[in-house]
Amino acid sequence: MKITLKIWRQAGAGDKGQFATYQVDGITEDMSFLEMLDVLNEELTEAGEQPVAFESDCREGICGACGFMVNGIAHGPERTTLCQLHMRSFKDGETLTLEPFRADAFPVVQDLVVDRSAYDRIIGSGGYISVNTGAAVDANTHPVRKEDADRAFDAATCIGCGACAAACPNAAGMLFLGAKVTHLGLLPQGQPERDSRVVNMVNQHDEEGFGGCTNIGECAAVCPKGIPLDVISQLNKDLRKAL
């Protein structure tokens, strides 16, 4: 396969960026998207040029660190993380535009890398349980309905990749926030701090510069873990009760 790449290049956070065009040949359908970028970077390095900066860690679809936009879609055309997106999803001769996640709360670090520490600060404001849950025997003295346990587990699969905020026209982080509030709020251990948690996390979300949710649904459409849109409804319900 031969692919044309239009990639956002930006040397640093305070620098002006622009798109650069590259041709990559010899790509196979079985290559992952990041492996394709590795091929490009090897060619750039051999030519004495600066390789394209992109972030990755596990390359197993677990951490979501690899996220950026492909043709305007967070993580690309398949509902998965970029490291699990394969080149068979594209056609020979296709042109792909790669750019970093666009949100004021995710400032560009370099090229396709953004700073997503805003999510960490939201978690630090209340996305945790501080009550002593005791040993397993003690925990089992508090029965949890299977429906609640399943929903809490599903919400907890959020990996905080930032695709939801990048896809949202308002750059809102409400799907991420809703997932964290929902999975903690459904468990007995999460009840003592339930009200303060949602208030503090929403306030931190707004302070970080994320926009407001208008229920467009782009966030859930690109979420690689399939977090449902209705966790935002749970977030709003908890917030109304807490205020």
> Could you give the domains of the chain?
3-109 (3.10.20.30), 117-242 (1.10.1060.10)
pLDDT recorded at residue 237 = 97
pLDDT recorded at residue 133 = 66
Report d(CA 99, CA 167) in Å as an integer. Answer: 12
Contact 239, 199 (CB under 8 A): yes
Instruction: Report the chain's mean pLDDT, rounded to a whole number.
Output: 95
Beta bridge partners of 97: 6
Band (pLDDT 50/70/90 cuts) for residue 131 is confident
Q: Per-residue pLDDT for 225 more than 90?
A: yes
Q: Per-residue pLDDT for 134 more than 90?
A: no
- Quick one: 76 exposed, middle or buried, by C-beta within 10 A (0-12, 13-18, 19+)? buried
Mean pLDDT, to the nearest integer, of 77-90?
Answer: 96
Q: Per-residue pLDDT for 48 more than 90?
A: yes
